[in-house]
Chain A
Amino acid sequence: MTSEYLILSAVLFCIGVGGVLIRRNPLVIFMSIELMLNAANLALVTFARARGDLGGQAGAFFVMVCAAAEVVVGLAIIVTVFRSKRSIDIDDMTLLSGAPGAEGGSLA
């Protein structure tokens, strides 16, 4: 039983990774990240059950709390970016390169 759950967890994780790398919409990227986190949760609870230990279950709860908090902060950032740029295409957000003019418009 355990290995099937783990395989499912790995598949979900890979789908999440693929979504992060391929998609350009930050909302979808957030969803993909959620998928990866929940794949990890699945692996945690699987191991907890296999070992008869509640530590893994508790870890999963912590992950869920963090994920919720992260989504809140992330959505706030996305909204702010959209307000100033009228676009939320992830490939337009290249300010971190440090090169002047790398960004189409100025944030100010």
Chain B
Amino acid sequence: MLSLDIIAMQAPVIFQVSWLLIAVPLLVAAVLLLVGDHANGVAPLLGVAGVAIPLGLAVTLLVTMLNLGEQSRAVTVSLYEWMSFVGGGVSFALLIDQLSILFVLLITGVGTLIFIYSCGYMADDPGRRRFFALMNLFIAAMLVLVLADSYLLLFVGWEGVGLASYLLIGFWQHKVSASLAAKKAFMVNKVGDLGLFAAIALMFTQFGSSDFHAVNARMDSSGSVVPVIMGFTLLLAALAKSAQVPLHTWLLDAMEGPTPVSALIHAATMVTAGIYLIVRSHAIFALAPSASLTVTIVGAVTIFVGAWIGATKDDIKKVLAASTMSQLGYLMVAAGLGPVGAAFAIFHLLAHGVFKANLFLGAGSVMHATGGETDMRVFGRLRRVLPWTCLAFFCGYLAIIGFPLTSGFYSKDHIIAAAFEQSMVTGVALAVGAALTALYMTRLWLLTFFGASRWDEDVKPHESSSIMVFPLVILGLASLGGGVALNAWIQGWLQPAIGNDVIAAPLIELTWQSEVAFGAVTLGVLTGWLLYRRPLAVQPSATTNPLVRAGANELGLNQAIDALIVRPGWALTSAVGAVETHVIEAGIDGIGSCATRASQQLHRMQGGNVRSYAGVVVIGTVIVVAALVIGIWL
């Protein structure tokens, strides 16, 4: 700790004010929530400022770090002693290193664009002050999560984003479906929180600290069991937060929230917290190969499940949510591969954050144009009326399917290549996942923007205002160009922070793995085009294909969880309730009624009848005398 403090003192002054990153959005959230309706007018402006100021600070930090030597880039900024106890303590400290600064830039950068978009999207919503306040609360909590230098402080942010996510999914609380979805997201995430909590408790008992440095340093001497337990508990936390099978069910329902929320929280940032946790805990997973392998398997399964669901849903936001699941599966696989994949996990995470935010905002623009419609079966031919949205969406589409030279191409191909190196099975699974991604995105693309128009005559689609189109265009350009910019640089940058391997990554490289991946994508696009090039009937008949029905039903996983966990839980609570009513309550009632009945019996003796009183006196006297006599005899 001492050496780190010295580094902090020598570090440029900009690091000392890094707490402003968190304080600014938190302050904005507090002001907007506390001032009340007086702040309605300035809510959008304050809201955007609450994330744009941290963005400026983060860019300054990045530039400063680029000018520093590699050894002095990671800085721990100790703010104050949070709590102290016998044998240790926890300081409230921020860790600014190569990994966390990338996350901060993603959160504030994409966040700023989404906030600007929201100014247009939420312009007519009566609750927009609350919207911007909660979004700023989310930004503050997410920044705590990624800037924390200990697992305990990370947990604070982890719970904070969970709370913000809950509040924003249920933002339109008058909709029953929205409040149910919010509750579901909160409860499923609690399962994961228990995992993280258990891991932190284990760290305190084993190492007496939850600092990243302390845990990493003492990990080697912790035996063989502790890393495995920690690995699996952290994996449980990541499963829930990053919507991996089998704890993914909340993400599709979470689309009940406003579309900017889906873009920011449920695509670009919060759901990647699980990946961040695993990459940050690389020292633990390095010592727990079984946990790492499980991470990879879970990721590969989720790629499939997500793509399957995505290929069958008709709701445009649910397709994108399933696609998010699937892409998070890629990140999980990459994180589970260890040093060969860690940097690519972060690379794809950044790329995905940008292009998925773009796709979600594009979907939001389509919804905005069609009066809140999300059913792709009643879209069609929207390229004519929404040219800018269509163009920006096309950039995101190219990026997500991994079209050469776009950001998704670089980030995803590296993961597929690394997977092939680890094992043939994983590689093939990822390549098939890439083909499915291309298939469902082509379906979405064709159904929404091409073919004959299928919307009702009274719907008058119109292009969104420029305040919504501007972020779309920026995100679209970033989706296209981001890969080229980061490809060669990111591995070397991250290496000191997460200990990844650095391999050569030229812009154009023809290996058999990249050819397989490109072949898979081409296959997926062609299949999608062949299936959906024909104009769709205005009222398509219900499908009978069992594969499609299973996917649209989310593979029955909701029902399975209902049957395995929710219903037994209800049965347990009603059993406990029955015990409460029929045993505990009945027992207490019984004591009371016994006392009442006994007193009624005693009451009869006091009937006011003089002679019965006299009789009782006589009986009493006889008993006393008899006792005396017996006493004398004995």
A interface residue numbers (CB < 8 A to B)? 17, 20-21, 24, 90-91, 93-99, 102
CB of B606 within 8 A of CB of A97, answer yes
Contact with A along B592-632 (1 / 0, CB 8 A): 00000000000000111111001100100000000000000
Q: What is the distance, in angstroms, from B536's C-beta to the closest C-beta of chain A?
A: 86
Docked CA distance A17–B622 (Å):
12
A-B contact pairs, 30 of them (CB 8 A): A17-B618, A20-B614, A21-B611, A21-B614, A21-B615, A21-B618, A24-B611, A90-B610, A90-B611, A91-B609, A91-B610, A91-B611, A93-B608, A93-B610, A94-B607, A94-B608, A94-B609, A95-B608, A96-B606, A96-B608, A96-B610, A97-B606, A97-B607, A97-B608, A97-B609, A98-B606, A98-B608, A99-B608, A102-B607, A102-B608
Bound form: Cα–Cα A20–B614 in Å: 8
Q: How many angstroms from the CA of A21 to the CA of B617 in the assembled complex? A: 10
A95: chain B residues within 8 A (beta carbon) = 608
B608: chain A residues at CB < 8 Å are 93-99, 102
Cβ of A7 to closest chain B Cβ, rounded Å: 16
Contacting residues, chain A, for B611 (C-beta < 8 A) = 20-21, 24, 90-91
On chain A, the residues within 8 Å of B607 by CB distance are 94, 97, 102
Residue-wise interface mask of B (569-608) relative to A, using a CB-CB cutoff of 8 A (1 in contact, 0 not): 0000000000000000000000000000000000000111
Q: Can you name the residue of chain B whose Cβ is closest to the Cβ of A94?
A: B608
Q: A61 → chain B, closest Cβ, in Å?
A: 25
Complex CA–CA separation, A96 to B607 (angstroms): 8
Which chain B residues border A99 with CB–CB below 8 Å? 608
Least CB separation from A102: chain B residue: B608
Question: In the complex, how many angstroms separate the beta carbon of A24 from the nearest chain B beta carbon?
Answer: 8
Distance of A11 from chain B, by nearest CB (Å): 16
Task: Report the bound CA distance from A11 to B615 in whole Å.
Answer: 18
CA–CA, A68 to B593, complex, Å?
50
Distance, CA A90 to CA B613, complexed state (A): 12
Closest 3 CB pairs of A and B: A97-B608, A94-B608, A96-B608
Min CB distance B493 to A, Å, is 93
Closest CB in chain B relative to A34 CB, distance in Å: 15
Name the A residues within 8 Å of B610 (CB-CB): 90-91, 93, 96
Which residues on the B side are within 8 Å of A98 (C-beta)? 606, 608
**Chain A residues whose C-beta falls within 8 Å of the C-beta of B614 in the assembled complex:** 20-21
Interface of B is mostly: helix
Q: Which residues of A contact B618 (CB under 8 A)?
A: 17, 21
B440 to chain A, nearest CB (A): 84
Complexed CA–CA distance, A97 and B607 (Å): 5
Contacts of A24 in B (CB 8 A): 611
Chain B residue numbers with a CB within 8 Å of A90 are 610-611
Q: Looking across the interface, which residue of chain A has its beta carbon closest to that of B613? A: A96
Size class of the contact patch on chain B: under 10
- A99-B610 Cα distance, complex, nearest whole Å: 15
**Minimum distance in angstroms from A74 CB to a CB of chain B:** 12
Taken together as a complex, chains A and B put the C-alpha atoms of A20 and B621 apart, in Å, by 15
CA distance A17 to B608 in the complex (A): 19
A94 to chain B: which residues have CB within 8 Å?
Answer: 607-609
Please provide the chain B residues from 442 to 480 with a CB less than 8 Å away from any CB of chain A in the complex: none
Shortest Cβ distance from B604 into A: residue: A97
Name the B residues within 8 Å of A97 (CB-CB): 606-609
Question: In the assembly, what is the distance between CA of A96 and CA of B606, in Å?
Answer: 8
CB distance from A105 to the nearest CB of B (A): 14
Distance to closest chain B CB from A50 (angstroms):
19
The CA-CA distance from A14 to B611 in the complex, in Å, is 16
Q: Provide the bound-state CA to CA distance between A107 and B628, in Å.
A: 43
Nearest chain A CB to B170's CB is how many angstroms away? 60
- Find chain B residues with CB under 8 A from A91 CB: 609-611
Which residue of chain A lies nearest to B607 when distances are taken between CB atoms in the complex? A97
Interface centre among B610, B615, B618 (most CB of A within 10 A): B610
- Considering the chains assembled together, what is the distance between the CA atoms of A91 and B618 in angstroms? 18
**In the complex, what distance in Å separates the CA atom of A21 from the CA atom of B608?**
14
| Chain B hits for A96, CB < 8 A | 606, 608, 610
Nearest Cβ distance between residue A59 and chain B, in whole angstroms?
A: 20
Chain B residues near A17 (CB-CB < 8 A): 618
Report the Cα distance A98→B608, complex, angstroms: 8
**Alpha-carbon distance A23/B609, docked complex (angstroms):** 13
Query: Taking each of B606, B608, B609, B614, which has the highest tally of chain A beta carbons within 10 Å of its own beta carbon?
Result: B608
Q: How far is the CA of A97 from the CA of B606 in the complex (A)?
A: 6
Output the least CB separation between B614 and chain A (Å): 5
A95 to B610, CA, bound (A): 10
Q: How far is the CA of A17 from the CA of B614 in the complex (A)?
A: 9
CA distance A97 to B604 in the complex (A): 9
A99 to B608, CA, bound (A): 9
Shortest distance between the CB of B116 and any CB in chain A (Å): 81
Tell me, in angstroms, the Cα distance from A95 to B607 when the chains sit together. 9
Docked complex Cα distance between A99 and B614 (Å): 20
Residues in A neighbouring B615, C-beta threshold 8 A: 21
The complex places the Cα of A93 from the Cα of B615 at a distance, in Å, of: 16
Q: Which residue of A lies closest to B606 (CB)?
A: A97
Instruction: Find chain B residues with CB under 8 A from A93 CB.
Output: 608, 610
Report the nearest B residue to A26, measured CB to CB.
B610
A37 to chain B, nearest CB (A): 15
Given contact pairs A17-B618, A91-B611, A98-B608, enumerate 20 new A-B contacts (beta carbons under 8 Å). A20-B611, A20-B614, A21-B614, A24-B611, A90-B610, A90-B611, A91-B609, A91-B610, A93-B608, A93-B610, A94-B607, A94-B609, A95-B608, A96-B606, A96-B608, A97-B606, A97-B607, A97-B608, A99-B608, A102-B608
A12 to B21, CA, bound (A): 106
Annotate B360-371 by CB proximity to A: 1 below 8 A, 0 otherwise. 000000000000
Measured in the bound complex, the distance between the Cα atoms of B615 and A20 in whole Å is: 9
Residues of A within 8 A of B609 (CB): 91, 94, 97
Min CB distance A76 to B, Å, is 17
Which of B607, B609, B615 has the most chain A CB atoms inside 10 A of its CB?
Answer: B609
A-side contacts of B606, CB under 8 Å: 96-98
Query: Which residue among A21, A24, A95, A102 has the maximum number of chain B CB atoms within 10 Å of its CB?
Result: A21
With a cutoff of 8 Å between Cβ atoms, the chain B residues found around residue A21 in the complex are 611, 614-615, 618
Q: A18: nearest residue on chain B (CB-CB)?
A: B618
B129 to chain A minimum Cβ distance, whole angstroms, is 66
B623 CB to nearest chain A CB (Å): 14
